[in-house]
């Protein structure tokens, strides 16, 4: 098409020359389908021979114009053979099917003024079990602590595989525990994957009710609630219409208190170890709606012990541990009430703070002129209570206020300084000026009571600054 248009233009430019030529010249004849060929030939002849009746200057000008038109036709013909490609506009995020990946977390600074003193390894949070009952045990009262240990980073993938939903998560914070107690170091919280009703990996215990945890800024939180993330194999056999039911086999860890066995045999007391022969069996039934939720969960476990560096690891044995945990959250206008109670034997490992799973008790067997002391292991009774209310004053202002305790029924052969009761209370005012930003102030009080009745308290004021982030802020 371009060629035809430009040849026609050439003919129009050359028409004055033809008009000035001999009128007696016979007109050219064309047949259908040959118009383009004849016109092209005429243009070529005009380019190759001077037109009659024109001055030499006009002839030169005409030839230049025809040559320019020829070059333009050739350029357009070359362009028409090139493939035109327009690349897609870049996308910030592109989902593959029903799958997505999110990187998330937050940075948090806790500025704490402790008016008393706790174990320095746990100074960045308030755990009643770490409050001293002997004045000056950890030094002078009045400490200032700055900590970023609550800061968190995680990655979560979710979507569909073979028609069933899946989720995989790896998440850690910086709060060192165990051998890393007191350190700012990586501590894994969640490492698990689920597909349909099956979950494997480390996450919240089925015995735990995570919705009982109030909106506090202290890291550890209420002492009297079940709170443990542990490796497990879980099967959720009901999850519809607000109902959920699940069972799990969970990694067993036992907290053994050797008590006063050292009075009988010091070496024996120091060589007793926990013996985890079987996983813990946990189960839960839960119902949730707009009003809140209610959850009943239970645990059955074998709490064992044996002795190292002895023939056949004697003495050794085990006790049956069990527990029942009932919790609920109730929504009422601006308030959300969080109430929970847990009771059982040998379940201290699953508690947020305080207690022991197994401890020695002693039986006195009188004989002729003698008294024989017969020690045995006992799964320790434990009661935990949590009562908190979260208050949403406005979109930006909120508070959490409440009290919690853990109490154990010490055996008759535990040390006088053994943990007996831990109490925890707090109140705060939090401000969220933007969706990803939070700051607030919290007053905390904790008290520990020993087996012999000695008490120690801690009072502190915490101010926190928190900034959340998510890859969804970039991709969505």
DSSP 107-164: EEEEEEEESS---GGGTTS--GGGS-SSTTTTS-S-EEEEE-TT-EEEEEEEEEETTE
Only one residue has tokens 């996983």, namely 279
Those residues with Cβ within 8 angstroms of residue 376's Cβ, 6 or more apart along the chain or in another chain: 317, 360, 361, 362, 363
Is the N-terminal amide bond of 175 cis, ω within 30° of 0? Answer: no
CA distance 2 to 73: 7
Q: pTM for the whole thing? A: 0.78
Do residues 392 and 401 make contact, with C-beta atoms less than 8 angstroms apart?
A: no
The matching CATH number, chosen from 3.30.1330, 1.10.860, 2.40.160, 1.10.700, for 106-145+196-475 is: 2.40.160
What's the maximum distance between 2 C-alpha atoms anywhere in the chain? 160
Q: What are the E-state strand segments in 346-418?
A: 358-367, 370-379, 381-392, 397-409
Tell me where in the chain the CATH 2.40.160 domain(s) lie: 106-145+196-475
DSSP 69-111: HHHHHHHHHHHHTSPP--PPPP-S---BTTBEEEEEEEEEEEE
Closest CA to 208 of 301, 299, 336: 299
Q: Are 208 and 149 in contact (CB under 8 A)?
A: no
Whole-number CA gyration radius for the chain: 42
- List the structure tokens of 298: 């239970």
DSSP 28-63: P---TT-HHHHHHHHHHHHHHSPPTT--HHHHHHHH
Q: Which of 318, 337, 313, 330 is nearest to 391 (CA)?
A: 337
DSSP bridge pairs for 288: 293
Backbone angles phi, psi at 31, to 5 degrees: -120, 155
Q: What is the pLDDT of residue 63?
A: 78
Residue segments in the chain with a per-residue pLDDT below the cut of 50: 2-3, 5-51, 83, 89-96
CA–CA dist 318, 142 (Å, integer): 44
Query: For residues 109 and 127, what is the distance between their CA atoms, to the nearest angstrom?
Result: 19
pLDDT at 46: 46
* Listed residue (226, 210, 221, 213) closest to 126, CA to CA: 221
- Quick one: which of 443, 421, 441 has its CA closest to 431? 441
pLDDT at 43: 43
- CA–CA separation, 62 and 182 (whole Å): 94
pLDDT at 88: 53
Residue 195 CB burial class (10 angstroms; 0-12, 13-18, ≥19): middle
Model pLDDT, residue 262? 84
| Phi, psi (rounded to 5 degrees) for 249 | -105, 125
Q: Structure tokens of 258?
A: 């050797």
What pLDDT does residue 475 have?
66
Q: What is the DSSP letter of 380?
A: P
SS3 readout for 302-332: EEEEEECCCHHHCCCEEEEEEEEEEEEEEEE
CB 402 within 8 A of CB 338: yes
| Tokens 């929504």 sit on residue | 331
């Amino acid at each position: 098409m371009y060629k035809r248009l430009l040849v026609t233009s050439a003919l129009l430019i050359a028409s004055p020359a033809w008009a000035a030529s001999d009128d007696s010249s016979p007109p050219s004849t064309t047949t259908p389908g040959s118009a383009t060929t004849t016109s092209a030939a005429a243009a070529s002849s005009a380019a190759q021979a001077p037109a009659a009746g024109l001055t030499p200057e006009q002839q030169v000008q005409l030839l230049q114009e025809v040559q320019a038109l020829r070059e333009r036709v050739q350029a357009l013909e070359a362009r028409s053979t090139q493939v035109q490609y327009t690349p897609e506009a870049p996308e910030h995020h592109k989902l593959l099917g029903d799958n997505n990946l999110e990187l998330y977390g937050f940075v948090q600074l806790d500025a704490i003024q402790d008016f008393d003193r706790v174990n320095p390894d746990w100074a960045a949070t308030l755990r009643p079990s770490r409050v001293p009952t002997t004045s000056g045990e950890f030094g002078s009262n009045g400490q200032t602590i700055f900590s970023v240990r609550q800061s968190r980073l995680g990655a979560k993938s979710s979507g569909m595989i073979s028609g069933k939903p899946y989720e995989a998560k790896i998440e850690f914070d910086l709060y060192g525990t165990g051998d890393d107690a007191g350190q700012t170091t990586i501590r894994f919280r969640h490492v698990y994957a689920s597909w349909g009703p099956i979950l494997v990996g480390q996450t919240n215990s089925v015995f735990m009710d995570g919705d009982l945890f109030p909106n506090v800024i202290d890291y550890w939180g209420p002492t009297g609630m079940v709170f443990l993330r542990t490796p497990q194999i879980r099967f959720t056999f009901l999850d519809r219409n607000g109902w959920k039911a699940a069972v799990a086999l969970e990694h067993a860890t036992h907290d053994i208190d050797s008590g006063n066995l050292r009075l009988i045999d010091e070496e024996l007391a120091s060589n007793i170890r926990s013996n985890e022969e079987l996983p813990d069996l946990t189960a839960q039934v839960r119902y949730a709606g707009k009003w809140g939720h209610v959850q009943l969960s239970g645990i059955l476990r074998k709490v064992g012990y044996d002795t190292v560096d002895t023939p056949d690891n004697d003495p050794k044995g085990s006790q049956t541990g069990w527990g029942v945990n009932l919790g609920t959250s109730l929504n009422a206008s601006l308030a959300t009430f969080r109430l929970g109670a847990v009771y059982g034997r040998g379940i201290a490992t699953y508690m947020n703070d305080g207690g022991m799973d197994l401890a020695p008790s002693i039986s006195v067997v009188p004989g002729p002129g003698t008294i024989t002391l017969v020690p045995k292991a006992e799964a320790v009774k434990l009661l935990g209570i949590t009562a908190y209310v979260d208050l949403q004053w406005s979109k930006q202002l909120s508070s959490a206020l409440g009290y919690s305790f853990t109490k154990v029924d010490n055996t008759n052969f535990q040390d006088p300084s053994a943990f007996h009761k831990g109490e925890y209370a707090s109140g705060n005012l939090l401000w969220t000026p933007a969706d990803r930003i939070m700051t607030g102030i919290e007053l905390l009080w904790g008290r520990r009571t020993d087996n012999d009745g000695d008490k120690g308290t801690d009072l502190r004021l915490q101010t926190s600054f928190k900034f959340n982030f998510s890859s969804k802020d970039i991709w969505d």
